[in-house]
Structure 1
Amino acid sequence: MKPDPNSNASGEVPYRALVEQSLVGIYVIQDSVLRYANAAFAHMTGFQPEEIVGQRLADLVSPGSLDEVQRKETERLLQGSSIRYLTRGRHKDGRDIDLEVHGSAVEFNGRPAVAGVAIDVSERLRYERELDASREELRELTTHLNSVREQQRATIAREVHDVLGGILTGIKMDANRILEREPTSELGAITRDLLASVQEGIDVVREISESLYPAVLDYLGLEAAIRHHLDRFCPRHGLRPMVEITREAAPLSSLQKLAAYRIFQESLTNVVRHAQATQVVVRIEVDEARFDLFVEDDGVGIKSSRHRRGGMGLISMRERAREVGGEFSARPGPTCGTCIQLTLPLGDGRRSA
């Protein structure tokens, strides 16, 4: 039987064979010159192993990354440490490639050198960049849709209030005139029933208009709008409201106020839909630098709401907060239930780029 050339009689691991067959690139750099490269490293740079050995570091690294690579090489030699980082290499055909390298100081032929491994991460980084771009486009689309939706809500609210409300008010005035002339007749009784129906319609119009766009938010501010909504919303759904505000008239921009109000509204809707709560507490805390809105309930608590099928409420609230430079969180309450928190910086309502 012929001896196996890769066998090792001493029982030691055949490192040379492992290095040559490795799927990751392995290299040795000394005096800024490539002294060794396995087939995988040569392949990712477009060279043959016999071509690449002896190449200068400046020929294998993108010009924009050369200073950083040389600096890290010097650090490893001086400190004897290992470093892992991303850089850009230069392919034989002249294009740049993204590399993740992990190198350590070693001794090679009796002198200091750097040995390490390299992985071509160009495809991974391209996918990550495309994913980041898609996320940014989705966020821009969400911001645009929210803006369009708010404009449509405001327009519909004005039309409902001014036009439909005006028509009903006119009918009410005419009915009152009839009632003044026929207060005791059968016509008067019919007119009183008509007035009751018209007043109910006016109340519904006011309710619809307020739900579409809260006029009180523009005229009286966020705190008044929150109190007003709680007064109408909580009795209807059997909730006991509590409001704790440390400072009225917080200096928020109009965009911040609208975002905070919509997040507050959506939080109440989630309480009714999912919490099985009996009480909701709304707290507003303001200092010189930030505004915090808390909506807490005593219900069953949050249970993987982030991943609930069809559950878009938390996503919508998180995006609204981001649009105005804020932060949003949903977490279990201190004793039970769920705590929704919105934090806004006091300023122009937009996070700097």
Structure 2
Amino acid sequence: VNQLGIGNYLNFKDRLRHKNGKLKYVEGSAHRLDAQNIQVMFNDVTSRVVAEQQIAEERNFVFHSLDVMPGIFYVINHEGRFLRWNRQTEEISGYTAEELRHITSAEMIAPELRAKHKEFVASILSGARWEGEAELCCKDGRRIPYYYVVRHFKWQGEDCVVGMGVDLTERNQAERLALTYLKEMQSLSARILESQEEERRRIARELHDELGQGLTATLLSLKNAEEQMGESPMVAQVKHASSIITILTQQVRALSLNLRPSVLDDLGLVAAFRWYIRERVESAGLRVVLSVDKDLPRLPALQETACFRVLQSAFTNILRHAQAQEAQVSLRQADGNLVLVIHDNGRGFDVKAARQTALAGKSLGLLGMEERVRLVGGVLEITSAPGQGSEVRVVLPMG
């Protein structure tokens, strides 16, 4: 009033209560017309004030959310200067807010990448996007693995770079631990398979050398007794016993060969393949075409055993389930590897369903083949489809 009394204009902001009880935000101006009159004008700015309040609330919500997010957040300009960051950036990096205002983002990346940092920022400002792993270099020298998402961003009318990062330390530690466990399990699995093969070899040898020879000696004794008995009524019983011993001898020999064919140890993989296909597969009525590279060298025992067991398992499945009339087996050298391919013209099967069945513990043949091959550094692939036959392909290092 005093200001108006001396003729000054007065501008003001205020809140007025409407007759409906709601508050109205107004901007007003007043000036003295004459000694008795004052002119007052009001402008309703309620919509603008409410909008500004909502924007301020949303900005506060965003900034608060960024401060409580588990990762780091930052906005930098074309020079790499920090314009905005969250509390985690300070806490994790060890830099104070004042320090962050005076350094560039290049000081928080690995030294070997700093030379190309300006080029990287320029590419993002040009519209490129980047996601990937990089280290956050802290004030105390720590280097923490982070996964970053970096984008172009408008900040207060300026082209900027916005980045967010998530700490990968726990994930990397978990991966390293899992890898350690995996290596330990593979080592244990390899030792178990080696022990199994050694036990098979020992049992096969004992069956052949002890039980087999004992049965052979018994058979010779019975033959000798039969010759000395002449026309004795006991001759028929001795012949019957001899035939039983003969069958048992054949069964013991077959059991010994199935456990661990001596030809594999004595003559190698190719000879073992030929023996197995002739004695176990073609004798069951399946025609097999075997193709082998000339002068194929002997492999380390573990590789030869793995390869032979895959052949054995594959033909067991073919004879039981495939209803095939023919199969092809090839054994080749290629780029320092041994490549085994077993193909049949049977009814085929759903590989994915078979693997799920194996994982459920209902069938171990498929997993057993994969495990054997993997333990000697090889790769096994199985391709098949109902009505289209199947193919087993193994690639093993020859070293």
Superposed pair shares fold, TM > 0.5: yes
Q: How far is 1:109 from its partner? A: 8.2
CA distance in 1: counterparts of 2:156 and 2:379, whole angstroms: 56
Supply the distance in 1 between the matched residues of 2:64 and 2:302 (Cα, whole angstroms): 61
Aligned to 2:234: 187
| Contact 2:348-2:384 within 8 A present in 1 as well | no
Structure 1 pair 149–280 and aligned structure 2 pair: CA distance change class (3 A): farther
Residue matched to 1:138: 185
Cα shift readout 1:122-176 (whole Å, capped 9, x = no counterpart)? 2222222222222222212111111111111111111111111121111112112
User: Match of 1:255?
Assistant: 302
Instruction: Indicate the larger mover: 264-273 or 173-182.
Output: 264-273
1:213 matched to 2:213: no
Cα distance in 2, alignment partners of residues 220 and 83 from structure 1: 58
Alpha-carbon shift at residue 241 of structure 1 (Å): 2.9
Which letter does structure 1 place at the counterpart of 2:296? A
Shift of 1:188: 2.3
Change (3 A) 1:73 1:20: farther
State the SS of the aligned residue for 2:290: strand
Does the 8 Å contact 1:38/1:49 carry over to 2?
Answer: no
Deviation readout 1:84-142 (Å, 9 max, x if unpaired): 22123256777543211122466878988643121122222222222222222221211
Say which SS state the counterpart of residue 3 (structure 1) adopts: helix
Q: Tell me the residue number matched to 1:39.
A: 87
Tell me if 1:331 matches 2:383: yes
Q: 1:248 to 1:177 in 2, by over 3 A?
A: farther
TM-score by length of 1: 0.81
**What does residue range 135-214 of structure 1 map to in structure 2 within 5 Å?**
135-214=182-261
Partner of 2:134: 87
The question of 1:66 aligning with 2:111 is answered yes
What does residue 349 of structure 2 align with?
A: 301
| Amino acid in structure 1 at the alignment position of 2:243 | A
Instruction: Name the CA shift for 1:270/1:51 in 2 (closer, same or farther; >3 Å).
Output: farther
Query: Among residues 64, 76, 79, which one is paired with 2:120 in the alignment?
Result: 76
Q: CA deviation at 1:48?
A: 7.1
**C-alpha separation between the residues in 2 aligned to 1:6 and 1:160?**
92
Query: Which sections of structure 2, spanning at least 5 residues, go unmatched?
Result: 1-22, 24-48
Q: Which moved more, 1:20-29 or 1:310-319?
A: 20-29
Query: Percent sequence identity over matched residues?
Result: 25
**Secondary structure of residue in 1 paired with 2:130:** strand
Kindly tell me the number of residue pairs found equivalent between the two proteins.
338
Matched position secondary structure for 2:234? helix
Cα pair distance change 1:272/1:197, threshold 3 Å: same
What is the CA–CA distance in structure 2 between the aligned matches of 1:112 and 1:252, rounded to whole Å? 67
1:148/1:33 Cα in 2 relative to 1: closer, same or farther (>3 Å)? farther
Amino acid of the structure 1 residue aligned with 2:379: E
1:321 partner letter: V
In the alignment, which residue of structure 2 is the partner of 1:351? none
Structure-1 separation of matches of 2:158 and 2:298: 64
Amino acid corresponding to residue 219 of structure 2 in structure 1: K
Specify the code of the residue in structure 2 equivalent to 1:75. E
Judge conservation of contact 2:204–2:260 (CA < 8 Å) in 1: yes
Q: Is the 8 A contact 1:73 1:114 kept in 2?
A: no
1:88–1:98 CA contact under 8 A, matched in 2: yes
Structure with bigger RCO (C-alpha 8 Å, 6+ apart): 1
State which structure, 1 or 2, has the greater radius of gyration over its C-alpha atoms.
2
Which range moves more in the overlay, 320-329 or 258-267? 320-329
Greater CA drift, 300-309 or 159-168: 300-309
| Distance in 2 between residues matched to 1:338 and 1:28, nearest whole Å | 57
Q: 2:324 aligns with which of 275, 278, 287?
A: 278
Q: d(CA) in 2 for partners of 1:129 and 1:337?
A: 41
Question: Gaps spanning 5+ residues in structure 1: where?
Answer: 349-353
Q: CA RMSD in A?
A: 3.4
Q: TM-score normalised to the size of structure 2?
A: 0.73
- Structure 1, residues 223-252: CA drift from partner, whole Å, max 9, x if none? 33223223333367x551312314255224
- Do the aligned partners of 2:343 and 2:392 also contact (CA within 8 Å) in 1? yes
Q: Map of 1:97-112 to 2, 5 A cutoff?
A: 97-104=144-151
1:265 is displaced (CA, Å) by 0.9
Look up the equivalent residue of 1:284 and give its one-letter code.
S
- Closer/same/farther in 2, CA of residues 233 and 142 from structure 1, 3 Å limit: same
